[in-house]
Amino acid sequence: MYFPSRIFIDGGDPAETKEADTILKKGGYHGLDGQTTNPTLIAKRAPSGVKALDFYKDTVREMSKIIPNGTISIQVIGDPSTLTSEEMVSQARDRITWIPNGIIKLPCTQKGLDAAEIFCKEGPINITLNFSQEQAAAVYVATLRLAPLAQGKRNEVYISPFVGRLDDKGEKGMDVVANILEMYRAFGDSHVKVLTASVRNVPHILYALWLKSDIITIPFKVFKEWADGGFLQPPKDYLYDTPGLTEIPYREINLDQDWKSYDLHHDLTDVGIQRFWDDWNAIVK
């Protein structure tokens, strides 16, 4: 049995990784395809007085043993007002050595993409905190000719649209996933995989499966609800109905410009980077 999307767990607790993997296998599936983590999720479990980075490293090492054939996302972290692209590249080069199946999360900002342009030639990347189709256009172009060239093999590039945080603001977050997939598919190259993130409920999963989002990352609580319902899959005529949420229309965007010419700004990206830093900083202190 299989899903049209790769299934990841979103969290900071290896026990959840193990349980989700076991549930999938018991259900006749091959198990989890990967794991996403972020500073907030890691900070939530960190005991006081622990060295934050060591704790992050130990956590992803445990996760990596549970799903050695999946990818585990590890994020770069820093004070948004001073974190440079050079520092991000240096953190990426260090974090990628932590485990054999790591993938480095970089923010969807100008500096994050400066770092991505360099690091995607060395290792796989996951561009996080994505909230708009135009940001996704920049990610596509910034990594287009570079990612496949790495040592004769293709380093994976993911983009993570955060659907739940857009829903929280009254916008239909899943439209961003649909729009990015449509734009990438129209262009004909699929070197950037669309990872539906910030999932809050089962309809998010069903619509992401219906759209054939390349990957879906699911927090354990929602995963459990979906599993308890028998890993429901959407029917062909599935209707994702979200009364009250404002639709985000598709835009015609050409993917042939310099990536720096696309508008990379989104308020939620800035808020997200700051929140990750604040949560992380709280355990570092």
Which residues of this protein are in contact with ligand E4P, per CB under 6 A? 10, 36, 38, 128, 160, 162, 164-165, 197-198, 217
Amino acid letter at 81? Answer: S
What minimum distance in Å lies between the beta carbon of 158 and ligand E4P? 9
Query: Which lies closer to ligand E4P via its Cβ, residue 38 or residue 179?
Result: 38
Query: Which lies closer to ligand E4P via its Cβ, residue 168 or residue 228?
Result: 168
Question: Backbone phi, then psi, for 131, in 5-degree steps?
Answer: -130, 0
Query: Which lies closer to ligand E4P via its Cβ, residue 38 or residue 269?
Result: 38
Task: Write the burial class of residue 2 (CB in 10 Å: 0-12 exposed, 13-18 middle, 19+ buried).
Answer: exposed
- Whether the CA torsion 136, 138, 140, 146 is positive or negative: it is negative
Query: CA 235, CA 163: separation in Å to the nearest integer?
Result: 21
45 in Cβ contact with 14 (< 8 Å)? no
Check if 25 is active-site: no
Query: CA 217, CA 10: separation in Å to the nearest integer?
Result: 5
Buried b (16+ CB within 10 A) or exposed e, 35-55: bbbbbbbbbeebeeeeebbeb
What minimum distance in Å lies between the beta carbon of 126 and ligand E4P? 7
Query: Which lies closer to ligand E4P via its Cβ, residue 20 or residue 253?
Result: 20
Helix (H, G, I), strand (E, B) or coil at 183: helix
What minimum distance in Å lies between the beta carbon of 160 and ligand E4P? 5
The β-bridge partners of 46 are none
What minimum distance in Å lies between the beta carbon of 139 and ligand E4P? 15
Out of 105, 153, 193, 236, pick the active-site residue: 105
Query: CA 71, CA 130: separation in Å to the nearest integer?
Result: 19
The β-bridge partners of 228 are none
Query: Which lies closer to ligand E4P via its Cβ, residue 34 or residue 78?
Result: 34
Going by the DSSP 8-state scheme, the letter that residue 162 receives in this structure is: B
32 in Cβ contact with 65 (< 8 Å)? no
What minimum distance in Å lies between the beta carbon of 152 and ligand E4P? 29
Active site residues: 105
